[in-house]
């Protein structure tokens, strides 16, 4: 850069800085200080008498700091930014619970109490950082108490990724609307004993999510304060309708009133075409759109008007409607001889007709194709899907779910080529596709559409859209504009659990330890589904619906038969549905569906893992089929367990472990549902069996009278009317933890 360029750039920077400062000062009341230190103070806020709207907006400028700091009224809350859009940003303390070597425990418990302010639910998230960590946040919404929690675990920092807060090293959950007081407490499960080399502390805090990105280095050190966004409104005057009739109405000329999402008070904003401070008399000034090319779409001349602008043309041109491109200036056409006009008109007409015929054919063909797509969309349940998803907007992540076009999926599968087929079944065909070079997906193409099963197909989408769990096959999107509906899933590369158990070439790859891991992860998924706010009963749990990735992690799939059970409903009367050999006999006889039906089916899968046999066996001596459950239970009664187990999974070290698995399976297969354990208890027992195998000394340290957390990505525990939600963890050592939800 030359000297001249440098001088020009420097002058531009100075002018921008001056303009910014001027804008901030004009937002303050005339004759009032526009800044406290580096923070702009816009009206209705102010630092001296007659400079603020009322006592709620008084700012104390503390000049003992350099630069000075602004505080709300006489509080100890200092601000780093105040916006007339109803937002304030403050630095807030981070809760911590540290166990550094050769030091005593270092713990703090920050509290933030607000009077006329609330914590923004859209701008902030509650975050917990650590590898042996959990924390909870408590507060008040109006007069109702609120409690929620988050858990973060990891055995090694190598499993922690920058920018990822899904439970491994970092956990995040949303906060509710209208929270005006918070108390945050951080804890450690095991005093960070096993992770102290890289993570000596648990950190917990509410933070402005636009200002915070998780880094692996935060496991060791984190700033003591982080930014939080608060929301303010004009309160005590009712809503917009009520306040507009009062003499002290806050919204001035050329402004309009609106009510924020937190449901308290109102705010003002300048009308379209104006800018400035809507709380000051004549504070909203007209924007001269003609001075800014990006604010008008005039081609030749622009004329500014109050709150808008108009376009005009130079002499010799006239203005026409340019459609989406805006008004256009076209030359005036002089008069020509009548004969020439007629000749030109006829010639142009023939030319237009000649060009229009093939164009019209293409338009009609395209319109017919569009109507056909609309017909398929309707008959494949498109409107039913929209209705279902609109009911679940709180849990459905539109950014991760895509409605694919037929062309996109044809391209991904080489026009559904035969060599892309990876599975066939009674439901249809599964293709392996590539949305991008390194992004494989599984595309499920149903057989000829059965209109009676459209509701089941839409149900599978609605159920999967609510589930966010590491051991559930993730639904990426769907395509409904084809004759048969298509579902797009993440691609799971290692086939089904059924194939690995019953294929002799693959069965040896499933060691006893690996089978226990698969059983534990599957139980964790079902426990998570049963513990959701709206209980999800899978209804078709079987080894063929459990997929395995390259690391033999379990992935639950096929939710087409699943049922959503509202809270406080313990059982449903439904048409019996499931797979022979896995079907709960109590459900089959009564038609009453409960969570224990999944427990029974899982018990069958557990027996498959132990014995390597199919759910339905062929009895050579009788020439008939018998149930694996009957075969297993009779063998248990006759004390022949180790004679029926898969040979290669049994050794001297794991016999007790396998025996306990078998006993658990036996309890799951009780004829009466009330005698079966819940999936939460099953998941906990299987996890303890895994931990006993890895750390046999650990089992002696588990207290007897405690409440253990649910194993999975999320879960919940309740005490009285309070509820603590534990979200974002993949695995947990068998540590029993109890929250005192009544303590503040």
Q: Say which residue, 714 or 491, is predicted with more confidence.
A: 491
Dihedral sign from CA coordinates of 563, 564, 566, 567: positive
Give every CB contact of residue 246 below 8 A, 6+ residues apart in sequence: 237
Does the pLDDT at position 476 exceed 90? no
Q: How far apart are CA 190 and CA 732, in angstroms?
A: 12
Residue 687 has pLDDT above 90, yes or no: yes
For residues 98 and 151, the answer to whether their CB atoms sit within 8 Å is no
Mean per-residue pLDDT, 655-673: 94
Confidence label for 568 from pLDDT (cuts 50, 70 and 90): low
User: Residue 727: what pLDDT?
Assistant: 31
SS3 399: helix
- Least confident range from 46-50, 73-77, 156-160, 592-596: namely 73-77
Examine the pLDDT at 381 and tell me if it is beyond 80. Answer: no
Decide if pLDDT at 251 tops 90.
yes
Distance between CA atoms of residues 145 and 181, nearest Å: 10
User: DSSP letters along 674-736, please?
Assistant: GGSPPHHHHHHHHHHHHHHHH-GGGGGGS-SS--BPPSSSEEEEEETTEEEEEE--S---S-B
- The pLDDT, as a whole number, for residue 709 is 32
Phi, psi of 67 (to 5 degrees): -75, 165
Least confident piece of the model among 109-123, 310-324, 683-697: 683-697
Q: Answer yes or no: 540 catalytic.
A: yes
pLDDT digits (tens, 9 = 90+) for 39-54: 999 999 999 888 999 8
Report yes or no: 512 and 658 within 8 Å, Cβ to Cβ.
yes
Average pLDDT over every residue of 127-139 = 94
| pLDDT band, very low/low/confident/very high, at 505 (cuts 50, 70, 90) | confident
User: Highest mean pLDDT range out of 644-658, 692-706, 723-737?
Assistant: 644-658
Terminal Cα distance for the chain, rounded: 61
Share of the chain above pLDDT 90, in %: 44
192-209 average pLDDT score: 93
Q: Enumerate the H helices of 380-423 as residue ranges.
A: 382-391, 406-412
Torsion sign, CA atoms 274, 276, 280, 283: negative
Q: What is the mean pLDDT of the chain?
A: 81
pLDDT value of position 178: 86
Predicted local distance difference test score (pLDDT) of residue 424: 76
Q: Taking 80 as the threshold, does the pLDDT of residue 566 lie above it?
A: no
Q: Indicate the pLDDT class of residue 8, thresholds 50, 70 and 90.
A: very low
Share of the chain above pLDDT 70, in %: 81
Domains for the chain: give ranges and CATH numbers: 93-226 (no CATH), 289-331 (2.10.25), 380-491 (3.30.200.20), 504-701 (1.10.510.10)
Whole-angstrom distance, CA of residue 503 vs CA of residue 548: 14
* CB-based contact 676:642 (threshold 8 Å): no
Q: Decide if pLDDT at 396 tops 60.
A: no
What whole-number distance in Å separates Cα of residue 320 and Cα of residue 295? Answer: 19
Asked which of 15-24, 220-229, 283-292, 733-742 is least confident by mean pLDDT, the reply is 733-742
- pLDDT, tens digit, 9 for 90 and up, residues 145-184: 999 999 999 989 888 999 999 999 999 999 998 888 899 9
Cis peptide bond prior to 716, omega within 30° of 0: no
Instruction: Report the candidate in 137, 162, 164, 167 with the shortest Cα–Cα distance to residue 149.
Output: 137
Q: How far apart are CA 206 and CA 92, in angstroms?
A: 8
Instruction: Report whether 106 contacts 94 (CB < 8 A).
Output: no
- What is the pLDDT confidence band of residue 741, given thresholds at 50, 70 and 90? very low
pLDDT, position 477 = 86
The answer to whether residues 130 and 152 touch, using CB atoms and an 8 Å cutoff, is yes
Catalytic residue, candidates 208, 540, 598, 730: 540
What is the Cα Rg of the chain in Å? 33
Q: What count of residues does the chain have?
A: 744
Beta-strand pair 402-403/421-425: unpaired
DSSP 496: B
Work out whether the CA dihedral 162, 166, 167, 170 comes out positive or negative.
positive
Is the per-residue pLDDT at 38 higher than 70?
Answer: yes
Cβ contacts of residue 7 below 8 Å, gap of 6+? Answer: none
The pTM (predicted TM-score) of the whole model is 0.47
Band of the pLDDT at 564, cuts 50, 70, 90? low
pLDDT of 24 higher than 50: no
State how far the Cα of 124 lies from the Cα of 118, in Å rounded to an integer: 11
């Amino acid at each position: 850069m030359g000297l001249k360029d440098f001088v020009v750039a420097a002058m531009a920077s100075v002018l921008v800085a001056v303009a910014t400062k001027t804008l901030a000062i004009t937002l303050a009341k005339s004759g009032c200080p526009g800044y406290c230190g580096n923070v702009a103070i816009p009206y209705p806020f102010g630092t001296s008498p007659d400079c603020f709207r009322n006592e709620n907006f008084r700012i104390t400028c503390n000049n003992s700091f350099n630069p000075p700091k602004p505080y709300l009224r006489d509080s100890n809350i200092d601000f780093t930014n105040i916006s007339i859009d109803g937002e304030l940003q403050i630095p807030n303390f981070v809760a911590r619970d540290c166990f550094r070597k050769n030091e005593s425990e270092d713990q703090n418990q920050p509290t933030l109490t607000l009077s006329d302010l609330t914590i923004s639910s859209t701008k902030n998230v509650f975050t917990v950082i650590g590898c042996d960590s959990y924390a909870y946040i408590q507060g008040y919404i109006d007069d109702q108490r609120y409690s929620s929690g988050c858990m973060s675990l990891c055995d090694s920092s190598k499993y922690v990724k920058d920018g990822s807060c899904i439970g491994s090293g970092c956990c995040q959950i949303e906060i509710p609307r209208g929270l005006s007081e918070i108390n945050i407490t951080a804890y450690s499960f095991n005093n960070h004993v096993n992770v102290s080399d890289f993570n000596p502390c648990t950190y917990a805090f509410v933070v402005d999510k636009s200002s915070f990105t998780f880094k692996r280095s935060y496991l060791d050190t984190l700033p003591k304060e982080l930014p939080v966004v608060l929301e303010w409104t004009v309160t005590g005057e009712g809503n917009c309708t009520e306040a507009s009739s009062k003499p002290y109405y806050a919204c001035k000329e050329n402004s309009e009133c609106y009510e924020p999402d937190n449901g308290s008070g109102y705010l003002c904003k300048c009308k379209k075409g104006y800018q400035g401070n809507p709380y000051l008399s004549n504070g909203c000034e007209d924007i001269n759109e003609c001075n800014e090319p990006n604010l008008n779409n005039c081609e030749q001349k622009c004329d500014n008007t109050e709150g808008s602008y108009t376009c005009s043309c130079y002499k010799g041109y006239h203005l026409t409607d340019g459609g989406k491109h805006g008004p256009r200036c076209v030359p005036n056409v002089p008069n020509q001889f009548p004969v020439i006009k007629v000749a030109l008109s006829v010639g142009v007409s023939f030319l237009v007709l000649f060009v229009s015929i093939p164009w019209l054919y293409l338009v009609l063909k395209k319109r017919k194709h569009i109507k056909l797509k609309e017909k398929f969309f309707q008959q494949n349940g498109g409107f039913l899907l929209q209705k279902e998803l609109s009911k679940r907007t709180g849990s459905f992540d539109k950014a991760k779910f895509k409605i694919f076009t037929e062309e996109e999926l044809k391209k991904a599968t080489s026009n559904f080529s035969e060599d892309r087929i990876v599975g066939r079944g009674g439901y249809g065909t599964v293709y392996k596709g590539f949305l991008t070079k390194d992004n494989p997906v599984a595309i499920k193409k149903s057989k000829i559409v059965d209109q009676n099963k459209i509701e089941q197909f839409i149900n599978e989408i609605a159920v999967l859209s609510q589930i966010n769990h590491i051991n559930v096959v993730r639904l990426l999107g769907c395509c409904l504009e084809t004759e048969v509906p298509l579902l797009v899933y993440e691609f799971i590369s290692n086939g089904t659990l059924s194939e690995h158990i019953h294929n002799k070439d693959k069965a040896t790859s499933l060691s006893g330890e690996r089978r226990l891991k698969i059983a534990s992860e599957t139980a964790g998924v079902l426990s998570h589904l049963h513990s959701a706010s709206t209980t999800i009963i899978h209804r078709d749990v079987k080894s063929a619906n459990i997929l395995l990735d390259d690391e033999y992690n379990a992935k639950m799939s096929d939710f087409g038969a699943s049922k959503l059970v509202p809270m406080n409903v313990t059982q449903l009367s439904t048409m019996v549905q499931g797979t022979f050999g896995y079907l709960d006999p109590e459900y089959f006889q009564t038609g009453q569906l409960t969570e224990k039906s999944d427990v029974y089916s899982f018990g069958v899968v557990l027996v498959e893992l132990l014995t390597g046999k199919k759910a339905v066996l062929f009895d050579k001596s009788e020439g008939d089929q018998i149930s694996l459950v009957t075969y297993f239970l009779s063998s248990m009664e006759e004390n022949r367990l180790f004679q029926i187990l898969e040979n290669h999974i049994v050794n001297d070290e794991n016999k007790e472990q396998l025996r306990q698995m078998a006993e658990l399976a036996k309890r799951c297969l009780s004829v009466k549902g009330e005698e079966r354990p819940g999936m939460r208890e099953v998941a906990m027992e299987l996890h303890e069996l895994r931990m006993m195998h890895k750390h046999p000394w650990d089992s002696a340290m588990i207290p007897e009278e405690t409440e253990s957390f649910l194993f999975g990505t999320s879960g919940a525990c309740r005490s009285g009317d309070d509820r603590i939600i534990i979200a974002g963890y993949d695995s947990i050592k068998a540590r029993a933890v109890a929250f005192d939800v009544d303590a503040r």
